[in-house]
Amino acid sequence: MTTVGSTGASTYEAVNIFFDRAADRLKLDDGERELLRRPWRELQVAVPVRMDDGRIEVFTGYRVQHNGARGPYKGGVRYHPLADREEVKALASLMTWKTALVDIPFGGAKGGVQCDPHLLSEGELNRLTRRYTANIEHLLAVNRDILAPDLGTNAQTMVWMMDEYGRIHGHTPGIVTGKPIELGGSAGREAATGRGVVTVVAEVAKDAGIDLKGGGVIVQGFGNVGSWTARIADEMGCNVVGVSDIQGGSYRSDGIDMKQLLRHKDETGTVTGLPGADSVSNEELLEQPCDFLIPAAIDGVIHAENAPRIKAKMVIEAANHPVIPEADRILNDRGIKILPDILVNAGGVIVSYFEWSQNLYQAHWKEDRVTTELKKIMTRAYRKVSETAEREAITYRDAAFLIGVGSVAHVARMRGFI
Ligand code: NAD
């Protein structure tokens, strides 16, 4: 079971602490809570793969459909050694509250295969992806459950999934989002989560009177979300002072030259060892002074031990569940504001919604339209969260869960589930 920080709680139990606080405020009774907390459907599958050396290795895969009251299930598929049932359940429930918070017509789901994609060849990844898709295919449909990329998966993974699903059901681009544009992907999808993250940074900076060119931005993780966040933040005039990937980080207090960094990453495959910057570990990077600390890699990186040493003015949760509940309390007590994952990283699922809609009526939006509509939805959601937080005198996270859980409970009641 994936546990986070020093609490020993599973990620699922930890996320439910935030759910329970919203349920208390909404005065949901025990039965209503149980219905909304518990996943509707959980599937575990064996994923046997013929490895390049001729052996058969059997991986474990999951698809969890958490809640579909507001629309078809929607959620990414993660390839990671820690992607176990509890983690996938937690991430599926976060998708339910996220899609409700930003008000797009989807429910919440998540998938995962317990594996280290970096240790697999392209052929092995292809075979693993096809076998996983074939084994969960009976749960999927464009109006039932739609897949997307997450940690360790990408546009290529989505093509293999679409292709495998299509072998059984006929060509169905809308069954996955995050596809390459040539195969029905949306302009702007790749950058979407990062663009949404930076939209939230810009809005909260305006409200808090923080100059984006000032104390700087640190981004942990340089994959899809982290790299686009850093690039778009830089384009918007932010002073990006620190970045990292799984190998470690680079920090420069007067700002990193983004063009130099991207060149360095292209040449070496990593953001560590950037000439002219200090090399730091991931742990050290999180503790450097900055205005906005943006964890954009994995879960549970800010915990009870390092929370007292965080020096950022605000933590912007681009990754899912990067701050565990104990750390959340410590940062709140220290006056460090946290913008929660279900708001901050919603840009990906919002543009997935645009992609799915375009696939359904075979349309192609221009990137400008995607960006404008994305910013509109992100800004509206941020405003709702910030107004609710102020009105109820609660944290941004509690406000975001209050809106998300409240919306799902309302629709579940209308449909007669509760
Ligand atoms: P990715 O696989 O593209 O990139 C992950 C990055 O994190 C890589 O740079 C990797 O080197 C780094 N990393 C991995 N393990 C690390 C560790 N132990 N310490 C430090 N860095 C580490 O993944 P992604 O799609 O960018 O997703 C990142 C996070 O954002 C995840 O929590 C994911 O659930 C969340 N998210 C992603 C999307 C999306 O559209 N891709 C949308 C919403 C949320």
**For ligand 1, is residue 99 a contact (CB within 6 Å)?**
no
User: Percent of the chain scored above 70 by pLDDT?
Assistant: 98
Q: How confident is the model at residue 5 (pLDDT cuts 50, 70, 90)?
A: very low
147-156, 208-217, 366-375, range with the lowest pLDDT: 208-217
**For ligand 1, is residue 319 a contact (CB within 6 Å)?**
yes
From the CA of 141, how far away is ligand 1's center (Å)? 27
At 76 the pLDDT is 97
193, 247, 285, 354: residue to mutate for ligand 1 pocket, most atoms within 8 A of CB:
193
* Cβ neighbours for 61, distance < 8 A, ≥ 6 positions apart: 44, 45, 46, 47, 111, 112, 113, 114, 132, 135, 136
At 296 the pLDDT is 98
Q: Specify the higher pLDDT residue, 189 or 4.
A: 189
**For ligand 1, is residue 124 a contact (CB within 6 Å)?**
no
Q: How confident is the model at residue 348 (pLDDT cuts 50, 70, 90)?
A: very high
Fold: same for 40-179 and 192-339:
yes
Question: For this structure, is 110 an active site residue?
Answer: yes
At 2 the pLDDT is 43
Per-residue pLDDT averaged across 393-417, rounded?
96
**For ligand 1, is residue 245 a contact (CB within 6 Å)?**
yes
Residue 181: pLDDT over 80:
yes
pTM to 2 decimal places: 0.95
At 400 the pLDDT is 98
From the CA of 229, how far away is ligand 1's center (Å)? 12
- Among 196, 153, 126, smallest CA distance to 372 is for 196
pLDDT tens across 263-311, in order? 999 999 999 999 999 999 999 999 999 999 999 999 999 999 999 999 9
From the CA of 202, how far away is ligand 1's center (Å)? 22
At 340 the pLDDT is 98
Residue 334: pLDDT over 80:
yes
Residue 8: pLDDT over 70:
no
At 11 the pLDDT is 83
**For ligand 1, is residue 186 a contact (CB within 6 Å)?**
no
At 330 the pLDDT is 98
At 417 the pLDDT is 81
At 215 the pLDDT is 75
Per the prediction, the chain carries an average pLDDT of 96
pLDDT tens across 151-179, in order? 999 999 999 999 999 999 999 999 999 99
**For ligand 1, is residue 92 a contact (CB within 6 Å)?**
no
110, 179, 313, 375: the active-site residue: 110
Per-residue pLDDT averaged across 385-403, rounded?
98
**For ligand 1, is residue 147 a contact (CB within 6 Å)?**
no
From the CA of 328, how far away is ligand 1's center (Å)? 20
At 4 the pLDDT is 40
At 418 the pLDDT is 75
Per-residue pLDDT averaged across 99-104, rounded?
98
| Residue owning the nearest CA to atom 16 of ligand 1 | 246
At 95 the pLDDT is 97
**For ligand 1, is residue 77 a contact (CB within 6 Å)?**
no
| Residue owning the nearest CA to atom 3 of ligand 1 | 223
| Residue owning the nearest CA to atom 34 of ligand 1 | 320
CATH classification number, 40-179, choose in 3.40.50.300, 3.40.50.720, 3.40.50.10860, 3.40.10.10: 3.40.50.10860
Residue 74: phi, psi to the nearest 5?
-145, 130
Report CA 18 to chain centroid distance, whole Å: 17
Fold of 192-339: Rossmann fold (3.40.50)
96, 246, 378: residue to mutate for ligand 1 pocket, most atoms within 8 A of CB:
246
Residue 372: pLDDT over 80:
yes
Residue 3: pLDDT over 70:
no
Segments making up each domain of the chain, as ranges: 40-179, 192-339
From the CA of 212, how far away is ligand 1's center (Å)? 24
Distance CA 370, CA 166 (A): 27
Residue 7: pLDDT over 60:
no
Task: Give the atom of ligand 1 at the shortest distance from the alpha carbon of 91.
Answer: 34
Q: How confident is the model at residue 9 (pLDDT cuts 50, 70, 90)?
A: low
**For ligand 1, is residue 194 a contact (CB within 6 Å)?**
no
